[in-house]
Chains A and B, each alone.
Chain A
Amino acid sequence: MRIEIDSVSRVFGGHAAVDGVSLTVGSGEFVVLLGPSGCGKTTLLRLIAGLEEPDGGAIRLDGRPVAGQGPFVGPGERNIGIVFQSYALWPHMTVAGNVGFALKVRGLPRAEREARIARALAQVGLQDHGRRFPFQLSGGQRQRVAVARCLAMSPPIILLDEPLANLDPNLRGAVLREFRQMHRELRSTFVYVTHDQAEAFALADRIAIMDAGRVIQFAPPREIFEEPRTAGVARFVGSGALLPAELLARTSEGRMLVRVLGHQAVVRCAGDMPTGSGMLCLKRRDVALHRTWEPGLIEARVADLRYQGGGEIAVLALPDGQEIEVELGRAEPAPAMGARVGLSARDGWVIPGAVAARASEAA
């Protein structure tokens, strides 16, 4: 089921928790809402669920208006499944009672209800736990019950609010894989909230990066990582350096000549990027190390050396205090600590800098 969010806002006491967000999630897509604490992810999820009513804008599910246009459709009639961060299991009902509650509300006959409960519990590997109460389960099992409760209705939209936040780190990897598999099998639309980047990159078809109530970039993980639209996104997703740059001239479609800290290079940029001043986002594999500094190179000092994952890594301090890591070739002898070295940019990504981050981005 397709979710269309059209310049939706939600204001709490004068403060916009969600501020004019537009976003379209395709049917069967897995979208992750990612952003720092308090940026409005949960509020956006609750707006989709119908637990909040927007103060402006409209929401449509498969083209049918559910909020903001015509009568408001409550959460019970939206056909969504939701997993709360706290799991929100009803403590006075058994596991089977929890999973079957929505089926009972819909008035399904007993036999079918039991078959569906059994199937949902089997999907999360808790076949034998139907008669237990939530307080008799471990944290991981409770999380599974919450997922099973959501799956029992086979909802076309599944919303998850930080479902791994209360889990043991050891369990998280396994559960992440299960979510991917579940998504492949169900073909439901998933909207998943997290503030953990690794989770987002592991799960998403597309990631919506949120900040202060707005979506600042909505793109596949690769693009988010390699072509961050704003300095904020670049800082949020990746280790690398952001350097002030003069944008000198367009060289070809999507490439541009820039000068950064006295060094000139041709790097990637957005198709409509004007010349002038901006920022260059440099990541580890974008730079080449030169043993000695000479004019025309970026000046740097070796701040640290460490061994990691089969290679030597040099941490280089730039003149403005930022640090960038460079992987040294296998045969290369490492430079001395504190040595002055030069850097050249093989590649990089241009971000409009000094200019305020651009507002929400439609799909």
Chain B
Amino acid sequence: MRRAGAELWIGLAAAALVAALSLLPLLRLAVEAVDPELVRKTLSSPAVWRALGRSLETSLGGSVIALLLGAGFALAVGLTNLPARRMLALAVMLPLLIPSQIIVLAWIELFGPATRLLSLLGLGVEAGTTNPLYSAQGIMLLLGVEQAPIVFLAVRAALLATPRDLVEAARCAGAGGGRILGQIVLPLTLPALGAGFGLAFVACLGNFGIAALLGIPARYATLPVLIFQRLSGFGTSILAEAAVMAVALALVAGLGVLGVTWISRRRDSAVIGSASGADPLRFDLGRWAMPLGALLLAAALLMTAIPMAALAATSVTRAYGLALSSATFTLDHYARALAVPQTARALWNSLWMSGLSALLLAALAIPCAVAGLWARRRPVRRLFGLLGFVAELPYALPGVILGIAAILLYLRPLPVVNVTLYGTAGLIVIAYLARFMPLALRPVQVALLQVDRVLDEAAQAAGARYRHRLVSVAAPLVLPSAMAGALVVFLTAFNELTVSALLWSRGNETVGIVIYFLEEGGDTPGAAAVSMICVAFVFALAALATWLLPAPARRVLPWGR
């Protein structure tokens, strides 16, 4: 039976690869952290507890703000007749495309001198006083802005999935708009609100860029920042302790992940009836529609677009501290930043590392999805179900956890080949593969579920070998989705900071690292210039891909729905 042989062989290889990438580092981390003596020593440090407390505090605060912003905008866009709702939705989702370290820089510049934006409102920061963003509240605010799109998308999807019948039945029962909102529509979106809150919370816990750029100047370190500071201060000698801290963070995040899973599996939240694909309610705001719409649009633009404009202004103003005018305009910062070999190298590094990761993951996702979903044997399907869950972990859990785990696993030379990956670009690529695998795998699985298995069975009946069917039946059908998944991986990895902050070494810097150190070193205009280059590149690529991808695959992109 050579056919069954190929199926088994390809399936096992795919499974082994996923396990090696995702499971092995986490197991290695767990092994390191079970030593009771070590746990006692680490947890006896008040700094660790303080950092954990701060992580919880900022994450809760940040996800509450994200919930208010995301749900508020989703309800406004979904349930009212505000003007320019589409533009509003786009403005709210903008933070999805801009990495958090750049959003932080942009917000700092919002209070900064180049545009004097806030001084116009009387809110400007006087020279010599500290920017109010360097505080716990500042971190929470920016975490909230960063995560608002997650909640927005969850609530928006729930509103669109609400069957129109349910609202019409309430209207026939005589219920007015307020009662329908409070007793029908909101209860039905409650699971989405809960899931959105949980996702935002877990994402906030893992955030590094915002917490580091705002927290370090304020001497307010969250757990990921503390781990980073200890590692950069003491090097790998502190690794065991860092592992315990990472596991502590993983446990808290794990609770959040479990909460999200529980909410989305609850049976009474399963809606009976067909989704309308249209918004269930449309409140007529009357003469309030115009002013309210303008207010909300201004608020949404204030979240990202206006700070980005301030950052752009800083990047073209001759000296920091001056206001932008025709006299102070200059492109020197761009020329200066690119002239530094480190910056050019980092741009190239980020480009090839994330490009390679995206391609490898797309190539791995297809056989993995096929082996899991089209397996004839039940145990094989279950094995892949389990692997799918394992593959989610490095992405769902905070990035520092994977970072520490990868260092632990690859610090020593690999057996047999005797190559040390620690300190090389290879380690960063391997970490990217583990961390972003779900982003590539999910779209392919979704696409494959929509393909009728009959197509495969027909090819099988025609005598095609497994390998042949994989290449000529399954792969072409899911290729657009795999490409869209690869694009999401590329865009996410290109701007990545958390994992590379732990794994970079001289010569292997990423753009995220370079921006971070430029800002930390006080070269704000330089950081602004590199940020603008990154954002322009990402937007151009996203726009080009959205335009080139076929419609069904476009849905994979968060902004494509």
Binding site for B on A (CB under 8 A): 49-51, 74-77, 80-82, 84, 86-92, 101-102, 105-106, 133-135, 142, 149, 153
The interface residues of chain B lying within 8 Å CB-to-CB of A135 are 267-268, 270, 272
Q: Decide: B179 and A105 in contact? CB cutoff 8 A.
A: yes
The interface residues of chain A lying within 8 Å CB-to-CB of B175 are 76, 101, 105
Q: A101 to B167: give the CA distance in the assembly, Å.
A: 12
- Which has the most chain B C-beta neighbours within 10 Å: A49, A80, A82, A92? A92
In the complex, B472 has a CB within 8 A of chain A? no
Name the one of B171, B176, B271, B274 contacting A91, with C-beta atoms under 8 angstroms: B271
In the complex, B396 has a CB within 8 A of chain A? no
Chain B residue at minimal CB-CB distance from A159: B172
Q: Decide: B170 and A101 in contact? CB cutoff 8 A.
A: yes
Q: Which 6 residue pairs across A and B have the least CB separation, nearest first?
A: A102-B173, A88-B165, A76-B174, A86-B273, A88-B169, A92-B187
26 A-B residue pairs with CB within 8 Å: A51-B168, A51-B171, A74-B171, A75-B168, A75-B172, A76-B174, A76-B175, A81-B172, A86-B165, A86-B272, A86-B274, A87-B273, A88-B165, A88-B168, A88-B273, A89-B272, A91-B268, A92-B187, A92-B268, A102-B173, A102-B174, A105-B173, A105-B179, A106-B174, A142-B272, A149-B169
- Report B402-429 residues with CB < 8 Å from chain A CB: none
Q: A80 to B168: give the CA distance in the assembly, Å.
A: 12
Q: A149 to B175: give the CA distance in the assembly, Å.
A: 14
The interface residues of chain A lying within 8 Å CB-to-CB of B163 are 86, 88
Name the one of B166, B179, B190 contacting A90, with C-beta atoms under 8 angstroms: B166
Q: A76 to B184: give the CA distance in the assembly, Å.
A: 15
The interface residues of chain B lying within 8 Å CB-to-CB of A106 are 174
In the complex, B188 has a CB within 8 A of chain A? yes
The interface residues of chain B lying within 8 Å CB-to-CB of A89 are 272-273
Q: A133 to B270: give the CA distance in the assembly, Å.
A: 11
* New A-B contacts (10) at CB < 8 Å, excluding given A84-B169, A86-B274: A51-B171, A76-B171, A76-B172, A76-B175, A88-B163, A90-B166, A91-B270, A102-B174, A105-B173, A135-B272
The interface residues of chain B lying within 8 Å CB-to-CB of A90 are 166, 169-170, 184
The interface residues of chain B lying within 8 Å CB-to-CB of A50 are 172
Q: Decide: A101 and B165 in contact? CB cutoff 8 A.
A: no
Q: Decide: A76 and B173 in contact? CB cutoff 8 A.
A: yes
Q: A62 to B267: give the CA distance in the assembly, Å.
A: 44
Q: Decide: A91 and B272 in contact? CB cutoff 8 A.
A: yes
The interface residues of chain A lying within 8 Å CB-to-CB of B269 are 91-92
Name the one of A51, A105, A149 contacting B174, with C-beta atoms under 8 angstroms: A105
Q: With A84-B169, A86-B163, A88-B166 given, is the CB distance from A76 to B176 under 8 Å?
A: yes
Name the one of A82, A86, A87 contacting B172, with C-beta atoms under 8 angstroms: A82
Q: A105 to B182: give the CA distance in the assembly, Å.
A: 13
Q: What is the minimal beta-carbon distance from A84 to any residue of chain B, in angstroms?
A: 5
Name the one of B168, B174, B187 contacting A84, with C-beta atoms under 8 angstroms: B168
Chain A residue at minimal CB-CB distance from B188: A92
The interface residues of chain B lying within 8 Å CB-to-CB of A91 are 188, 268-272
Chain B residue at minimal CB-CB distance from A134: B272
- Report B244-267 residues with CB < 8 Å from chain A CB: 267
- Report B270-299 residues with CB < 8 Å from chain A CB: 270-274
Contact with A along B110-144 (1 / 0, CB 8 A): 00000000000000000000000000000000000
The interface residues of chain B lying within 8 Å CB-to-CB of A76 are 171-176
Q: What is the minimal beta-carbon distance from A137 to any residue of chain B, in angstroms?
A: 10
Q: Decide: A49 and B273 in contact? CB cutoff 8 A.
A: no
